[in-house]
Amino acid sequence: MTRALPLTLAGSDPTGGAGIEADLKTFLAHGRSGAAVATALTTQDSRRVLAVAAEPEERFRARVGALLADLPIAGLKVGLLPDAALVRAAADAADRIDGPVVVDPVLAPTEGAPFLDEAGRRALVEHLLPRTDLLTPNLPEAAILLGCDEADVRADPRGAAERLRALGPDAVLLKGGHGDGERVIDVLAGATPRTFGGPRVAPGARVHGTGCALAAAILCRRLDGLPLDDAIERARTWLSEQIAGARAASPSGARLLPFTPASPSPPRA
């Protein structure tokens, strides 16, 4: 029997460090093949995004439809969506998948203009978030989705996570990697709220593609049958190991994750 596959809908990163390339590497690191459809072609290096060219909606829908009709797709990870039309198309794809949907809302680069305009943000809230099992924004992305200052999110991350959950997703993991301090604290708002903490592995380092990899790793752990909090815990542990490996390989400058294999999940009871 063919093992069920995860599908990623995200931008294509020519460095291989983020987007669908990072997602496919993460799937493989967790022992799974995966399928991918690009939402956009980006011009970028490991430090900045220079340009984004959106995939035409008709072609995007055709490619996704062909995969869903042919392959045993069991879960979906969504990343960069460059316009409202592709947001709606991704939401329609989520409706056709009987499995977890993890959305990493790649809304803006570290430097530069947002990827998604206001019409796209509204479409994300209206069409995709109600179909989302887990939303994984960082602090700046949370502020964009909520229409507030990032300082407000930093001041009350638990409250911000709950406000994001009220927009539709079953659960929200508000990531603290953009925060300050020696520890990274992620806040989970869901049926069982909790926090996840750990030391900042590479203080001051700019490691490319961590958000993509974390969301894809969580999806893989969910497909392994783990409950959400365990899936997040194991995915965070794996990601910390990748960041440490990138730091060791390149002590200075921009770093790409090594995407080394993850330890297998325990067998389901």
Segment holding 125, helix H or strand E: none
Q: What angle (nearest 5°) sits at the alpha carbon of residue 171, between those of residues 168 and 177?
A: 115
Strands 183-189 and 171-174: antiparallel
* pLDDT for the residue 269: 42
- pTM of the prediction? 0.94
Structural tokens at position 3: 């093992």
Domain-by-domain residue ranges, the chain?
5-256
- Tens digit of pLDDT at every position of the chain (269 positions): 357 899 999 999 999 999 999 999 999 999 999 999 999 999 988 888 889 999 999 999 999 999 999 999 999 999 999 999 999 999 999 999 999 999 999 997 765 667 889 999 999 999 999 999 999 999 999 999 999 999 999 999 999 999 999 999 999 999 986 656 668 899 999 988 999 987 776 655 678 899 999 999 999 999 999 999 999 999 999 999 998 888 777 766 658 899 999 988 765 54
Kindly give, in sequence order, each residue whose CB lies less than 8 Å from that of residue 252, ignoring residues fewer than 6 positions away: none
CATH topology of domain 5-256: UDP-N-acetylmuramoyl-L-alanine:D-glutamate ligase (3.40.1190)
Q: What ranges make up the beta strands (E) of the chain?
A: 5-12, 35-44, 49-54, 73-78, 101-103, 134-135, 171-174, 183-189, 194-199, 207-208, 255-256
Kindly give, in sequence order, each residue whose CB lies less than 8 Å from that of residue 52, ignoring residues fewer than 6 positions away: 11, 40, 41, 42, 43, 80, 82, 115
Phi, then psi, of 15 in degrees rounded to 5: -75, -15
How many whole angstroms separate alpha carbon 33 and alpha carbon 30?
A: 9
How many whole angstroms separate alpha carbon 221 and alpha carbon 237?
A: 12
* pLDDT for the residue 1: 35
Q: Are 167 and 124 in contact (CB under 8 A)?
A: no
How many whole angstroms separate alpha carbon 78 and alpha carbon 8?
A: 6
**Dihedral, 49, 54, 60, 64 alpha carbons, nearest 10:** 20
